[in-house]
Amino acid sequence: MDLQTLGEHPCFGGVQRFCQHTSAETGLPMKFSVYLPPQALAGARVPALLYLAGLTCNEETFAVKAGAQQLAAQLGLALLAPDTSPRGAGVPGEADAWDFGVGAGFYLDATQAPWARNWRMESWLMKELLPLLRAELPIDGGRVGLFGHSMGGHGALTLALRHPGVFSTLSAFAPICAPTQCPWGQKAFAGYLGADTRAWEAHDASALMARQTAAPYPGGLLIDQGLGDKFLAEQLHPHRFEAACQQAGQPLTLRRHQGYDHGYYFIQTFMGDHLRFHAQGLGAG
């Protein structure tokens, strides 16, 4: 898999690494970050959390901004954070588009030109990166949780629902809950998946949850949303996912926080709650 360590930093008794490998799925070098807690360095196979970041972010964003390593070290959790998008494909407009939908990964496999060759984020994550990390790192592949923010919250919810049984726990910060119903999602889906909106629903968390005949996560889901988030009304629509969970009988804790916005100060504030939520579900700590 051509795995390379690009940087390594001692951190709270563990180690923060930044890595790269050449992906057959995307046809490009793909980067990701890994935090291994001290328990892993001592030889234990530890549970892991996969974090998916949002628009404009990369594999360094979570490691640098989220403030998660100290508590992860105490709980014995590995933290995995991939880049959000393929980079360097030379697609016209690629470098200018990550803010606006098309060009950002959206954690799916594109079917339309010119994106279909390289924009295979779902296959990269599920078929390549997770198996690679299970094979190469001291993590327990049977105890993996998934969470994310914004576009990455969309990715966390949809990938968990599209791949039942892979992830044991699931949460999100300010996720795009109904991308078929918001400008970010509509622009990205039209570019990546074409004009047939039926194909879009396969990557819409609210639509996917509404189709469930039983709760996919009977232990519950956790979502935090800031009420001062400027994207809440037009882009995020957590009420749609809340309604879908009620329809499916899926337990959901959706916490709405007065004054908090869409950024990493918000995420830092509630990161500890999410790590403990996953640790409990994964049997860590």
In total, the chain counts a number of residues equal to 285
Q: Is 261 a catalytic residue?
A: no
Pair of tokens at residue 68? 């998660």
Give the active site residue among 150, 168, 171, 206.
150
* DSSP H helical ranges for the chain: 38-41, 61-65, 69-75, 121-123, 130-136, 151-162, 183-193, 197-200, 205-210, 238-248, 264-282
Burial of 108 (0-12, 13-18, 19+ CB in 10 A): buried
- Say if CB 239 and CB 210 are below 8 A apart: no
Q: Which of 149, 154, 237, 262 is catalytic?
A: 262
Q: How far apart are CA 103 and CA 91, in angstroms?
A: 9
Beta bridge partners of 78: 48
Supply 161's token pair: 């629902």
Tokens, residue 273 = 């709650």
Q: Would residue 257 show up in a list of annotated catalytic residues for this protein?
A: no
Residue with the two structure tokens 């519950």: 220
Peptide bond into 92 cis (omega under 30): no
Would you say the C-alpha torsion 272, 273, 279, 280 has a positive or negative sign? positive
Asked whether 80 and 51 are in contact (CB, 8 A), the reply is yes
Catalytic residue among 33, 83, 229, 274: 229
State yes or no: is 140 an active-site residue: no
Cite the active site residues. Answer: 150, 229, 262
